[in-house]
Amino acid sequence: MQTTPRTDDATNRRLWRLVGPVVVGGSASALWALWSISTRPAQVTGLAVLTLVVIGNFFTVIEVRIRSARDGIHPITAVITLAAVFLPAAEMILGAACGLFLSLLIRRVSDPVKMAFNVGKETLSATAAAFAAYSVGVQPILLNSAFSISDVIPGLLLAFVAYTVVDEVVAQGLFAIVTHKPFRQLLFANFDVRLLTRFGQAAVALATVVAYRVSEWLLLVLPPLAVAIHLAFANKTRTRQGNEAWQRLAEATDEFNSVDQTDVLYAAVRRATDIFSTDQAEVEIRPPSGEARLVRSDGRDILFDGHPHDAPPAEGYLIPVALESYRGDGDLGELRLRFRGAGPVRFNDREQYTLRTFTAALCTAIRNAATFAETQRLADSHARAAAQDPLTRLANRRRLQQYGDEILAGNAGVVGVLLIDLNHFKEVNDTLGHAEGDRVLVGVSERLAAAARPGDLVARFGGDEFAVLMSGLSAPAIAELRAHAMLDALAPPIELDDMRISVEATCGVTTGTGGSVGELLRRADIALYQAKQEGQRVVVYAQSRDTADVNSLALGGDLARAVAEHQFTVHFQPIVDLASGKVIAAEALTRWQHPDRGPLSPDRFLGAIERSGQLAAFADAVLDQALIAVTDWADAGYSIPVAVNVSPRSLLDPSFPDAVARRLAAHGVPSSSLVIELTESVTLSKLEVVDEVLAALRDQGIRLALDDFGTGFSSLATLARVPVDELKIDRSFVAAMNASAPGAVVRSTIDLGRSLDLLVVAEGVEREDQRRQLWELGCPAGQGHLFARAMPADRLLAALDRGAGHLAAPLHDTGAVIRMSRSRRTRRTTQGGTAEPPGRERST
């Protein structure tokens, strides 16, 4: 077995510990052989023949590349074993050394270390074989023509064993040092094939001795037999090498299945050094986006991982291979195989095909890892977007609920929720524009985040509403203190270019030790609503003021069935002209005919409906009954519009106008016959989507009425923004109309309606004197128990028939002359009557 050693800096000392003794030992054996021959007549013919045979054997070598070195396998075992019993030891040792030296010269091996090592190894192996045969008393056959085969066999077999042991140990020891693999692993690799081949060569040597004993001419048959055995071994070796190469390639491609780019690159450089027997392997990738990356390994350790410009220089013969797909497109980078030594390294056909397959698989793995990384990046980005408010980068409602569920599940003690709403933020948007309004929101979010404690989560729910979730509170009262601290953080003005914007806010607070985040948010919302209603800065949730009690929750579970079974019924309270008593409109009032609880008024179930998913179905059911009533009245000759109260939450639904339009079209009712009553609330004054919904309703021709006018926080501001057609004076002002303040409210509302050309309707008219007083103040219409209570549509129709469209006697007989108060002003013609200039006499 011929070997070609190469060294590197890391293994140089270990390598010379083997090469040095082999060269020294081989040289000593060769010198001894020369000295021995010089002291006696030499067997020149035998020496020459052995030299020529050795040279010829080395031209039938099977080359196996180990990194930049090549391992030569040839049928020299049989030759040396025969020489050990045919020739004297000196001639046999010198012939083996000369033959190998000359064969290396003929093959133009110029490396002196390589030549010295291989000649030394072969000389040592031959010396071991010669002295093994001599130790059992074998006389050289060329000197003893009358030899006995039985005398030769022990020496021949012992020479065979000695040569094989020395050759294998030295060769595999060299490979273990060069490849950094365990000596035992290399010694037993392909051991069965190597052992069988050597025994075959030993059999050839024994057959040669027998043939020589019979006839010298039989020696002509043995060389073809030796070559045949050698070729069989060569084919077996190549087949096994190919199978092992494909197995290692399969193992490498299995490791390429990782979706992590680092795992793929590390597996590639480590596997490449093993599959292609290189000193180092490196992969440089140049992705279309992102930085280039280089990974380098010696098969054991990752030597470098980073930007290619930062990589330390590497020496040696280099084989670069572009990372391309099987089709040869898409250059992603380069795989580089590096060999110590200056000489070129050539791959055979099998190695070249394996390399192409390896690089194509690596290219696919890198693409897959890049695709997965991009997919993961997008998924993470979407996850962050799904849990993050895009404007302020705070958490959104979804993230707060997830975090809150985790906190509550972990028994984090007292958990507090703050719901913070900015006051009059709509004015900022209207005055400065949305861009500046967004800057204010960002500034508010930064202050809230800075005021939060570790473990708190600040979120924005949309618009100008924020929430803070606090965990691990030592006592529930701490939440209220933290709420004041949060609002104090918002007190300093926010700088916007040359302006200073003051931000005021209202906060609802609740605490709990269990349950769900949704329930805590609901309670905080109730507390926030109460704070808005009462004009307070901070309000803590109180169960006693929670309208969503247990009975309300139970009702919530019945809503779906109630809508499906038409349990909601609509009664109608007429609106009359105060002067004539003629019915000019009707207000739809909904009742729930609960099968177990009996009739329920709206204040018992509207809250549950607004918190459920049944609001749209409920609104459709009410509209259907109201529009059916309008149709029935019109068929009877009464053109009476119907007013329907709408939940503020319906005005937050952009699809609500389309739903109303579908209901009008389904019943064939003109839009002018529908009045939408709006409850004056915080909702109307803060959300822009309400403006869009109201504008869409007005564009359809639907009239808008502002209910309970005067009871809200910003009645005039709401009236200036909401394009209403009617104002309804709250019943509380009508009941106390003779008192100074309520009376002033009633008078100012009537004057305001007249100046804005709006119809004014007084609610809660209970007595005749109230009716007359309101009419004298200029209020044209009213509703209340004086005229009629709410009743089903058919009963109202019957009442209309009885009174020919009137529900009360006129205030004055037809033709009577009435001198109006000088404070009366001109008002527009309304449903049910006409108006005259102030101070003018008219008859009714």
pLDDT digits (tens, 9 = 90+) for 123-148: 888 888 888 888 887 877 777 766 77
Residue type at position 238: R
pLDDT in tens, 194-212: 666 677 777 777 777 777 7
How confident is the model at residue 642, as a pLDDT? 96
What 3-state class would DSSP assign to 253? helix
554 pLDDT band, cuts 50/70/90, is: low
Lateral strand order in the sheet of 293-297: 302-306, 293-297, 280-285, 333-339, 317-322
Q: Name the residue with higher pLDDT: 235 or 578.
A: 578
| Predicted TM-score (pTM) of this structure | 0.41
Residue 190 to residues 239, 244, 343, 531: CA-CA distances in angstroms?
Answer: 11, 10, 28, 87
How confident is the model at residue 313, as a pLDDT? 86
pLDDT in tens, 321-331: 888 755 555 56
pLDDT in tens, 218-228: 555 556 666 66
Q: Name the residue with higher pLDDT: 136 or 796.
A: 796
CA 210 to chain centre: 79
361 pLDDT band, cuts 50/70/90, is: confident
Least Cα distance to 126 among 81, 187, 181 occurs for 81
Residue 573 tokens read as: 């309270």
How confident is the model at residue 228, as a pLDDT? 65
Q: Name the residue with higher pLDDT: 383 or 430.
A: 430
DSSP state of 140: P
Q: Name the residue with higher pLDDT: 842 or 587.
A: 587
How confident is the model at residue 623, as a pLDDT? 94
Per the DSSP assignment, residues forming a β-bridge with 727 are 706, 760
d(CA 250, CA 273): 15
d(CA 481, CA 485): 6
| Dihedral of alpha carbons 513, 515, 518, 519, sign | negative
* Whether the predicted pLDDT of 827 surpasses 80: no
Query: How high does pLDDT run on average in the chain?
Result: 79
d(CA 833, CA 823): 19
Question: Any residues with CB less than 8 A from the CB of 785 and at least 6 apart, and which?
Answer: 765, 766
Task: Sort strands 62-66 and 781-782 into parallel, antiparallel or unpaired.
Answer: unpaired
Residue type at position 148: S
Residue 331 tokens read as: 């250059």
How confident is the model at residue 80, as a pLDDT? 78
d(CA 750, CA 532): 27
User: Picking from 32-36, 287-291, 325-329, which range would have the lowest pLDDT averaged per residue?
Assistant: 325-329
- Which domains, ranges and CATH numbers included, belong to the chain? 12-245 (no CATH), 256-379 (3.30.450.40), 397-546 (3.30.70.270), 557-809 (3.20.20.450)
Percent of the chain at pLDDT exceeding 70: 78
Question: Any residues with CB less than 8 A from the CB of 389 and at least 6 apart, and which?
Answer: 395, 396, 445, 459, 460, 462
How confident is the model at residue 457, as a pLDDT? 93
270 pLDDT band, cuts 50/70/90, is: confident
* Whether the predicted pLDDT of 59 surpasses 50: yes
Torsion region of 839: left, alpha or beta (phi above 0 gives left; psi -120 to 50 gives alpha): left
d(CA 223, CA 158): 22
DSSP state of 468: E
Burial (CB count <10 Å: 0-12, 13-18, 19+), residue 146: exposed
Torsion region of 411: left, alpha or beta (phi above 0 gives left; psi -120 to 50 gives alpha): left
Q: Name the residue with higher pLDDT: 473 or 832.
A: 473
Q: Name the packing angle between helices 740-755 and 768-777 (round to 10°).
A: 50
d(CA 37, CA 297): 53
How confident is the model at residue 148, as a pLDDT? 77
pLDDT in tens, 382-397: 766 677 888 898 998 8
How confident is the model at residue 722, as a pLDDT? 76
Lateral strand order in the sheet of 414-422: 457-462, 465-473, 414-422, 505-512, 538-540
d(CA 359, CA 281): 12
Torsion region of 254: left, alpha or beta (phi above 0 gives left; psi -120 to 50 gives alpha): alpha
Burial (CB count <10 Å: 0-12, 13-18, 19+), residue 250: exposed
DSSP readout, 403-431?
HHHHHHHTT-SEEEEEEEEETTHHHHHHH
Q: Name the residue with higher pLDDT: 532 or 236.
A: 532
Q: Name the residue with higher pLDDT: 527 or 565.
A: 527
* Whether the predicted pLDDT of 13 surpasses 80: no
DSSP readout, 367-399?
HHHHHHHHHHHHHHHHHHHHTB-TTT--B-HHH
Residue type at position 839: G
pLDDT in tens, 479-499: 999 999 999 999 999 888 778
How confident is the model at residue 844, as a pLDDT? 29
Residue type at position 486: M
How confident is the model at residue 842, as a pLDDT? 33
What 3-state class would DSSP assign to 142? helix
